Structure 1
């Protein structure tokens, strides 16, 4: 029986590399593991793969000793023996080349990850075992890539709107029963696409990554363009829609395409927003895996303490320090848009982002690319400037308390029920309920049903971008009216004939009967724009009678406020003499905006909003309610 392989300490700025010392015909594969200074290492490739959850139950012979690895890596190594590696003998594989039991070594090697992948000759992506019939997918990817080049800009932005069902049928794609769709679905179902670490592993490759499924090579460029087109234009119309697991892969590949086109570095807040649905078995890696793509990881810079990999520190403290670092360095509160989950206020202060939290709803602020002052790739929330350009003003804070400045706007006095994707997609009554509630609360201030309809249409869609030039606000209300009509028709056919329902029907019918029929109206077109309403709720405020859209955790008596550095108004929940941070809602665009004027001249109106120990911040007795940001909230 061979001795167990024992790792020796790694010198600073050094790495281990692996190479095969036997060929594929050998029954038992053998390997050599050697230490090199990174700057003087021989040519090597770097492997990107999904570890899997299985423990280290398989042994390989390494330097004449037994080294335990997991079964997934065993499969990858077997396929790599058959690969023409272009004369590059050595390979870097994290599971083997890092002593995973040594926490200190793990941290230092993680901080070197950018340099490791940039030094390697190329990244080899191994998706897993070969899929039967995989050769059939090539023609489909070629067709999808053609549509990408026709319909999207190089950055992935749309040249046109999403496809309708008739346009999709005319696109010339294979029938739903074609086996190539099944193969593509199998490829996109591989877990590699949703793992945090693979992002920089693929992006930092010197040359185009080599993607393997088993020993079959796939075109990285074709996969990127195909997935970007599907995600942007018509995913729900394809057979892939029957396999929800593929959604995550398409989102991920769309991000890879953006990174591929725009290059690095990126702003950290942008990366965290774009990668919110990626996964990592180690919670801290949800951030650490991205640092190599940021300016902070520049070759001549030293990583800020908050961003250095530290697996000894509790996750709670790591996430708190990272959140505070991002707020202080960016001088804004955009990082709080990542709170799209049910917060655990017993574990984290409410202002601290749980970067490992599962996303439960979509963001409702629209982001667009904006050049960073230092040349980084970054996005900003467009059309939202609640704080009038004022940076975040952080006061004296303890570890768990973030004290910032801002002012109160209004209190929430009514919320509609949480809307579900299944109900909205099937013309259920929820949008109709919102419309009628808006009529009841705001009808006296609007002169026409058309104006009311436009307010609800924009609110439910969060005024989403349709193309680079067009937003929902630019659309006719005809598609929205058609959607309400379909919802009303379904309600009449399916609802129980009780008294309350009859009154509700009558009210709906009276409002809709006066709408002039439009032969161009298509209920499905507006339905395509309702993604942002899924799992959100519409709310109304008390004094100012605003209407807005926010996540499901909002409730009556929460307050709206503007915190400096925030693109949209924030929601706080009074608790004793403090506040909990709840959420950033999405406002609609006011046709007659009230202006904040020169916010810097209104410094005397600013009052401290001490945010949040356990999410709490001490309450102040005086808030200014007269200052509003231009174009932020629709007033009835």
Structure 2
């Protein structure tokens, strides 16, 4: 674009301002260069590029500039916005020469400085939605429920609501215009764009969120999202397309509540649901929020934005850096998608991939040695708290110390379904299989049932103080009884098996089957498996298969599933294994029951 972009001096930015009026047919702007520390007051725009084809245009510095149609819509709404005495605005698509790879890298590394220097972040979600005025009262009510059900630390005060409890609540019917409009808002792509986390969180003051020209209350949206995400279960009023937005908004709230910076592991775990058209930006978009920089504000080489570096190498080097610097395998819990072993080593996290199921371990806030916060896995300590042991290897091989516990010799079907009720038949088949395979480890049907109850939920929490393992087994039997009553006459074998199991169970008609059913999230896209020699039962990745091996790798809070390939192994994923989650395997290793081995992951 001749005569528009000239080289940017070091630590300088370009800023934009309108030179035409709101009512003008054609938008005209001025683009100017300023040292960032001497720039005039400016706002920063956060929006979604949409179609990257620059088929629209504005006049900038007297020349035609091609921009995306989405940005043109945003500019038409912004030009009429009351900005007070702030004329200038920073917009990445215009203020960075996107054809200059070197400049892009430099400006990305300056992003934190740009957004913290700006007066405010203006969020533009997209064009106005019909019925948006009806959303305000709904957000007020959801915010009240947040105060009632969630404590200041963000944890639940009570168990999830049952379907009957939902119906009794003072909330509009799911077909009400307020819910319809809220779903449309939350389904906007802005909420899952990777850059928006940094752009919203770094705002000096509360971001200004616009849908068209209609302003939405940022605080109410954050609180409403936190309540909805914590208490969603079964059939509810939020569409699946809006769920990622809830996770994003919770992350915005956490970042403000807990403070910044965070370490890169924390951010990558928390921001797993975001998307970017440029794969490297799944990492680079978070750099302004991390604490890994040295005293000169220089990031480690593996984390510096470099758009000339192949995506594969970026993800490989970031994964290895995190393992080495954290002395933990927590980052490998992000491998929760269908693997692309043809393009990435199995141990490399594809940060541009999409997490298809939830993590097993809980995360809690913990102080980092540098003084800032990070997430730490809690409850599960399969490795006994031992740090990772990495051996020397080539760039594409990760050599980790640990020991093999057993071999997988049976796997159940992958548990798939559109809601938690869809898992019922899977649970029954898995329980039937357990009763045949676990008799050497557990002497009673009740002990087998308890192992299955805890395994199928990965011992998820009901409240901040209660876990599934703390509950009486009668909740699980009530759930099985419900399934039995729904079985059809043509399911004779299952019905007979179920009747035999229930005959051995204590009958308690006062318990609620939903106590178990509502916490089956961990089973989604996982499969129950059994091991060969020691009769362990576990919940593992959907891609696992017979003859995979069950291992404890030092630095891993959960057991891991590996697949032998000659003398090397592929990383299949983490798993939950009843009787191995609190260091029992490490105790056996210390007694000489297992032998340390170096696993070369390819």
What TM-score results when the alignment is normalised by the length of structure 1?
0.91
| Alignment-derived partner of residue 138 in structure 2 | 140
| Alignment-derived partner of residue 578 in structure 1 | 568
| Alignment-derived partner of residue 412 in structure 1 | 408
> Which runs of structure 2 are paired with 1:408-447 in the superposition (5 Å)?
408-422=404-418, 424-426=420-422, 428-447=424-443
Q: Using the TM superposition, give the Cα deviation of residue 66 of structure 1 relative to its aligned residue in structure 2, in angstroms.
A: 1.1
| Alignment-derived partner of residue 150 in structure 1 | 148
Deviates more, 1:557-566 or 1:196-205: 557-566
> Which runs of structure 2 are paired with 1:358-377 in the superposition (5 Å)?
358-377=354-373
Give the conservation status (yes or no) of the 8 Å contact 1:56–1:70. yes
| Alignment-derived partner of residue 495 in structure 2 | 505
| Alignment-derived partner of residue 399 in structure 1 | 395
| Alignment-derived partner of residue 380 in structure 2 | 384
Give the conservation status (yes or no) of the 8 Å contact 1:581–1:611. no
> Using a 3 Å threshold, how does the CA distance of structure 1 residues 309 and 196 change in structure 2: closer, same or farther?
same
In structure 1, how many angstroms separate the alpha carbons of the residues matched to 2:71 and 2:406?
Answer: 56
> Which runs of structure 2 are paired with 1:51-450 in the superposition (5 Å)?
51-234=49-232, 236-240=234-238, 243-297=239-293, 300-422=296-418, 424-426=420-422, 428-450=424-446
Q: Using the TM superposition, give the Cα deviation of residue 424 of structure 1 relative to its aligned residue in structure 2, in angstroms.
A: 4.8
| Alignment-derived partner of residue 534 in structure 2 | 544
Matched, 1:607 2:596: yes
In structure 1, how many angstroms separate the alpha carbons of the residues matched to 2:581 and 2:592?
Answer: 27
The SS at the match of 1:171 is coil
| Alignment-derived partner of residue 531 in structure 1 | 521
| Alignment-derived partner of residue 473 in structure 2 | 477
Q: Using the TM superposition, give the Cα deviation of residue 405 of structure 1 relative to its aligned residue in structure 2, in angstroms.
A: 1.3
Per-residue displacement from partner, 1:178-208 (whole Å, max 9, x unpaired)?
Answer: 2111111111111100111000100010110
The SS at the match of 2:598 is strand
1:558 to 525, 529, 548: 548
Deviates more, 1:140-149 or 1:260-269: 260-269
| Alignment-derived partner of residue 620 in structure 1 | none
Give the conservation status (yes or no) of the 8 Å contact 1:265–1:295. yes
Deviates more, 1:565-574 or 1:603-612: 603-612
Per-residue displacement from partner, 1:440-498 (whole Å, max 9, x unpaired)?
Answer: 111354343222211100000000011111111111222221221222222234xx3xx
Give the conservation status (yes or no) of the 8 Å contact 1:432–1:488. no
In structure 2, how many angstroms separate the alpha carbons of the residues matched to 1:377 and 1:419?
Answer: 35
Deviates more, 1:129-138 or 1:360-369: 360-369
> Using a 3 Å threshold, how does the CA distance of structure 1 residues 29 and 203 change in structure 2: closer, same or farther?
same
In structure 1, how many angstroms separate the alpha carbons of the residues matched to 2:115 and 2:419?
Answer: 46
Give the conservation status (yes or no) of the 8 Å contact 1:574–1:580. yes
Deviates more, 1:463-472 or 1:96-105: 463-472
In structure 2, how many angstroms separate the alpha carbons of the residues matched to 1:432 and 1:291?
Answer: 46
The SS at the match of 1:548 is strand
Aligned pair count reads 602
Give the conservation status (yes or no) of the 8 Å contact 2:17–2:29. yes
Give the conservation status (yes or no) of the 8 Å contact 1:479–1:522. yes
In structure 1, how many angstroms separate the alpha carbons of the residues matched to 2:28 and 2:596?
Answer: 68
> Using a 3 Å threshold, how does the CA distance of structure 1 residues 595 and 585 change in structure 2: closer, same or farther?
closer
In structure 2, how many angstroms separate the alpha carbons of the residues matched to 1:71 and 1:604?
Answer: 65
In structure 1, how many angstroms separate the alpha carbons of the residues matched to 2:459 and 2:200?
Answer: 34
In structure 1, how many angstroms separate the alpha carbons of the residues matched to 2:176 and 2:423?
Answer: 30
In structure 1, how many angstroms separate the alpha carbons of the residues matched to 2:541 and 2:223?
Answer: 32
Give the conservation status (yes or no) of the 8 Å contact 1:553–1:582. yes
Matched, 1:454 2:450: yes
Deviates more, 1:140-149 or 1:437-446: 437-446
Give the conservation status (yes or no) of the 8 Å contact 1:395–1:404. yes
In structure 1, how many angstroms separate the alpha carbons of the residues matched to 2:308 and 2:493?
Answer: 63
The SS at the match of 2:265 is helix
The SS at the match of 1:42 is coil
Per-residue displacement from partner, 1:137-179 (whole Å, max 9, x unpaired)?
Answer: 1101001001101111233211111111222223211122321
Deviates more, 1:378-387 or 1:199-208: 378-387
| Alignment-derived partner of residue 623 in structure 1 | none
| Alignment-derived partner of residue 634 in structure 1 | none
In structure 2, how many angstroms separate the alpha carbons of the residues matched to 1:590 and 1:575?
Answer: 25
> Using a 3 Å threshold, how does the CA distance of structure 1 residues 383 and 342 change in structure 2: closer, same or farther?
same
Gap runs ≥5 in structure 2: none
Give the conservation status (yes or no) of the 8 Å contact 1:155–1:257. no
> Using a 3 Å threshold, how does the CA distance of structure 1 residues 590 and 235 change in structure 2: closer, same or farther?
closer
In structure 1, how many angstroms separate the alpha carbons of the residues matched to 2:235 and 2:428?
Answer: 25
Q: Using the TM superposition, give the Cα deviation of residue 239 of structure 1 relative to its aligned residue in structure 2, in angstroms.
A: 2.2
Give the conservation status (yes or no) of the 8 Å contact 2:480–2:498. no
> Using a 3 Å threshold, how does the CA distance of structure 1 residues 587 and 24 change in structure 2: closer, same or farther?
same
| Alignment-derived partner of residue 462 in structure 2 | 466
Give the conservation status (yes or no) of the 8 Å contact 2:261–2:289. yes
In structure 2, how many angstroms separate the alpha carbons of the residues matched to 1:114 and 1:602?
Answer: 51
> Which runs of structure 2 are paired with 1:4-43 in the superposition (5 Å)?
5-43=3-41
> Using a 3 Å threshold, how does the CA distance of structure 1 residues 610 and 514 change in structure 2: closer, same or farther?
closer
In structure 2, how many angstroms separate the alpha carbons of the residues matched to 1:592 and 1:46?
Answer: 48
Q: Using the TM superposition, give the Cα deviation of residue 592 of structure 1 relative to its aligned residue in structure 2, in angstroms.
A: 10
Q: Using the TM superposition, give the Cα deviation of residue 595 of structure 1 relative to its aligned residue in structure 2, in angstroms.
A: 6.8
Per-residue displacement from partner, 1:364-415 (whole Å, max 9, x unpaired)?
Answer: 2222222223232222221222222221111111111111211111111111
Give the conservation status (yes or no) of the 8 Å contact 2:416–2:422. no
In structure 1, how many angstroms separate the alpha carbons of the residues matched to 2:582 and 2:457?
Answer: 20
Q: Using the TM superposition, give the Cα deviation of residue 604 of structure 1 relative to its aligned residue in structure 2, in angstroms.
A: 12
Give the conservation status (yes or no) of the 8 Å contact 2:548–2:562. yes
Give the conservation status (yes or no) of the 8 Å contact 2:588–2:594. no
What TM-score results when the alignment is normalised by the length of structure 2?
0.96
Gap runs ≥5 in structure 1: 616-636
Deviates more, 1:245-254 or 1:377-386: 377-386
Per-residue displacement from partner, 1:526-559 (whole Å, max 9, x unpaired)?
Answer: 2111111011111111111111110111111111
> Using a 3 Å threshold, how does the CA distance of structure 1 residues 424 and 216 change in structure 2: closer, same or farther?
closer
